[in-house]
């Protein structure tokens, strides 16, 4: 069984077997990822790139091999177009502070959407404050779908960047990013896609999407924490100035001037998260071995099952009911505070997320300060969903 490969699922909480439904916050890791990380620290513990000794060569080979695995997973033309970062947050900040900053003057516009995670809002706001650019927002409807008919008007000759989430972490909406990118490109606007929540659930092909930038969070796609990817088109990466200075990102340094290294080293100053990178490569290989079509099918099936069961609970309102969704169900229940619900469920061994999920504007749109969120992964089971629904019922009766 695939599930047996995830030791993190096999624990008890308050004496109950864990039911882990907080996958959108961070996924569980398969043994293969844990082994890859452990193997690095125990069998070829060394710094990478600069060493001539055997262990350094092995570590470098594994780290660069991981880049290759990730490139295959997202069908990038070359692994050189993948920059290792700490995750989606750092990837977005990198693009905002290099590519976008160079293109912006006062009065220019950056377009994002109503359902963005704070990490795809705040970096752009900071940039606007520093450059005098203006942040504009694509609206959404009451199902949590972007109102794309507004795009033609929202994109103007001042629009210099569009940044949009592929899959919403709080609503579950899968945005039609290929269509958005085509519309933006028709007006010569480059597009960054925040893919943090996409890869754990669906196939991503950056060449088919034709995105200018795509961001990935390792910890959401069954990899380690503190590691992620920024994919970029080569012409952008080559033209972009470096972001952080330090070792590794240089070709030559004198006190007078520095010649920068080639892409992607230009953006990877300092010793990277070597173990994390190697673990991420193992996660990519794991996903490819399981098969994205299998993961996607299981995801759709779990979502349909959970949605039907949850909708039968009295007073429960789903927040985010897009026609195209991943297995994320945010909800509120009349008379029950999400935090209280989360605390009661924890005592039954169930982990869910409660609060604003770092998407305060999206929740303000639905006029709720927070929700409870159950987010599923392919290793979750129908029995777990049944148990979760029973416990939600019990908690509701307790509070109402």
Cα–Cα distance, 388 to 104 (Å, whole number): 49
Least Å from the CB of residue 118 to ligand PMP: 8
- Indicate the burial class of 50 (C-beta count within 10 angstroms; 0-12, 13-18, 19 or more): exposed
Site size with ligand PMP, rule: CB under 6 A = 14
Between 5 and 217, CB nearer to ligand PMP: 217
Rank residues 134 and 358 by Cβ distance to ligand PMP and give the closer one. Answer: 358
At what angle are helices 54-73 and 31-43 packed, to 10 degrees?
160
Q: Does 325 bind ligand PMP (CB under 6 A)?
A: no
3-state secondary structure of 351: strand
Pick from 69, 113, 169, 371: which binds ligand PMP (CB under 6 A)? 169
The enclosing H or E element of 287 equals helix 274-290
Region of 168 (left: φ > 0; alpha: ψ -120 to 50; beta: rest) is beta
Q: Are 325 and 338 in contact (CB under 8 A)?
A: no
- Nearer CB in complex with ligand PMP: 228/281: 228
CB of 397 to ligand PMP, least distance (A): 32
Query: Between 81 and 169, whose beta carbon lies closer to ligand PMP?
Result: 169
**Rule CB under 6 A: is residue 22 a binding residue for ligand PMP?**
no
Determine the Cα angle at 175 with ends 136 and 264, to 5°. 80
Give the number of C-alpha atoms closer than 13 A to the C-alpha of residue 53, restricted to the C-beta side.
6
User: Which of 228, 242, 272, 281 contacts ligand PMP by CB under 6 A?
Assistant: 228
Q: Which of 60, 119, 173, 326 binds ligand PMP (CB under 6 A)?
A: 119
Identity of the residue, 59 or 282, whose beta carbon is nearer to ligand PMP in the bound complex: 282
In the complex, least distance from residue 47 CB atom to ligand PMP, rounded to whole angstroms: 24
Question: Scanning residues 342 to 371, which ones bind ligand PMP (CB under 6 A)?
Answer: 358
Near ligand PMP by CB under 6 A, which window of 14-22, 49-57, 115-123, 246-254? 115-123
Q: Does 89 interact with ligand PMP (rule: CB under 6 A)?
A: yes
Question: Does 183 interact with ligand PMP (rule: CB under 6 A)?
Answer: no
The window from 10-18, 82-90, 272-280, 391-399 that contacts ligand PMP (CB under 6 A) reads 82-90
- The region, left, alpha or beta by phi > 0 then psi within -120 to 50, assigned to residue 149 is alpha
SS3 content of the chain, % helix, strand, coil (to 5): 45, 20, 35
Nearer to ligand PMP, 228 or 277 (CB): 228
Q: Which stretch binds ligand PMP (CB under 6 A): 93-101, 117-125, 206-214, 258-266?
A: 117-125
Nearest distance from C-beta of residue 335 to ligand PMP, angstroms: 28
Report the 10 Å Cβ neighbour count for 160. Answer: 20
Work out the angle between the directed axes of helices 274-290 and 292-311 (0-180°, nearest 10). 80
Of the candidates 145, 140, 204, the residue with the CA atom closest to the CA atom of residue 178: 204
Q: Does 87 bind ligand PMP (CB under 6 A)?
A: yes
Catalytic residue among 211, 324, 358, 391: 358
Sole window of 87-95, 291-299, 319-327, 345-353 interacting with ligand PMP (rule: CB under 6 A): 87-95
State the maximum Cα–Cα separation within the chain, in Å, rounded to a whole number.
Answer: 72
Residue 264 dihedral angles phi and psi, to the nearest 5° = -95, -5
Residue 28 known to be catalytic: no
CB 307 within 8 A of CB 331: no
Q: How many CA atoms lie within 13 A of 346 on its CB side?
A: 9
- Alpha-carbon span 175 to 164, nearest angstrom: 8
Question: Quick one: which segment of 68-76, 83-91, 229-237, 257-265 binds ligand PMP (CB under 6 A)?
Answer: 83-91
Q: Per CB under 6 A, does 217 bind ligand PMP?
A: yes
Binding ligand PMP (rule: CB under 6 A), the pick from 194, 212, 285, 384 is 194
Q: Are 371 and 340 in contact (CB under 8 A)?
A: no
Q: Is 88 in the site for ligand PMP (CB under 6 A)?
A: yes
Q: Which stretch binds ligand PMP (CB under 6 A): 5-13, 112-120, 234-242, 289-297?
A: 112-120
Task: Name the residue nearer to ligand PMP (CB basis): 225 or 296.
Answer: 225
Catalytic (active-site) positions: 358
Chain contacts with ligand PMP (rule: CB under 6 A): 87-89, 117, 119-120, 165, 169, 194, 196-197, 217, 228, 358
């Amino acid at each position: 069984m695939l599930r047996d490969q995830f030791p993190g699922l096999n624990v008890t909480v308050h004496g109950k077997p864990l039911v882990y439904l907080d996958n959108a916050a961070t996924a569980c890791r398969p043994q293969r990822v844990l082994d890859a990380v452990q193997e690095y620290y125990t069998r070829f513990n060394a710094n990478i790139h600069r060493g001539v000794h055997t262990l350094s060569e092995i570590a470098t080979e594994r780290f660069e091999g991981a880049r290759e695995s990730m490139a295959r997973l997202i069908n990038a033309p070359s692994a050189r177009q993948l920059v290792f970062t700490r995750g989606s947050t750092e990837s977005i900040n990198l693009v905002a502070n290099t590519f976008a900053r160079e293109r912006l003057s006062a009065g220019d516009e950056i377009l994002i959407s109503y359902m963005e995670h704070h990490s795809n809002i705040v970096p752009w706001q900071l940039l606007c404050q520093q450059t005098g650019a203006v942040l504009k927002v694509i609206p959404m409807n009451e199902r949590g779908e972007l109102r794309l008919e507004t795009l033609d008007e929202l994109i103007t000759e001042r629009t210099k960047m569009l940044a949009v989430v592929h899959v919403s972490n709080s609503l579950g909406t899968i945005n039609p990013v290929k269509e958005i990118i085509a519309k933006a490109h028709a007006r010569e606007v480059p597009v960054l896609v925040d893919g943090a929540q996409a890869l754990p659930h669906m196939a991503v092909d950056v060449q088919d999407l034709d995105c200018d930038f795509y961001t990935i969070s390792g910890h959401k796609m069954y990899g380690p924490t503190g590691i992620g990817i920024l994919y970029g088109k080569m012409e952008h990466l080559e033209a972009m100035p470096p972001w952080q200075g330090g070792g590794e990102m240089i070709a030559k340094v004198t006190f007078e001037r520095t010649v920068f290294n080639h892409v992607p080293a230009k953006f990877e100053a300092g010793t990277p998260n070597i173990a994390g990178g190697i673990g991420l490569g193992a996660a990519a290989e794991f996903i490819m071995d399981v098969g994205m079509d299998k993961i996607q099918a299981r995801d759709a099936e779990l979502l349909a099952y959970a949605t039907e069961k949850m909708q039968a609970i009295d007073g429960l309102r789903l927040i985010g009911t897009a026609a195209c969704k991943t297995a994320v169900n945010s909800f509120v229940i009349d008379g029950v505070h999400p935090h209280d619900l989360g605390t009661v469920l924890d005592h039954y061994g169930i982990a869910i997320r409660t609060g604003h999920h770092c998407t305060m504007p999206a929740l303000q749109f639905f006029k709720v300060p927070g929700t409870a969120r159950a987010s599923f992964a392919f290793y979750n089971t129908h029995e777990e969903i049944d148990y979760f629904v029973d416990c939600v019922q019990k908690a509701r009766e307790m509070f109402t």
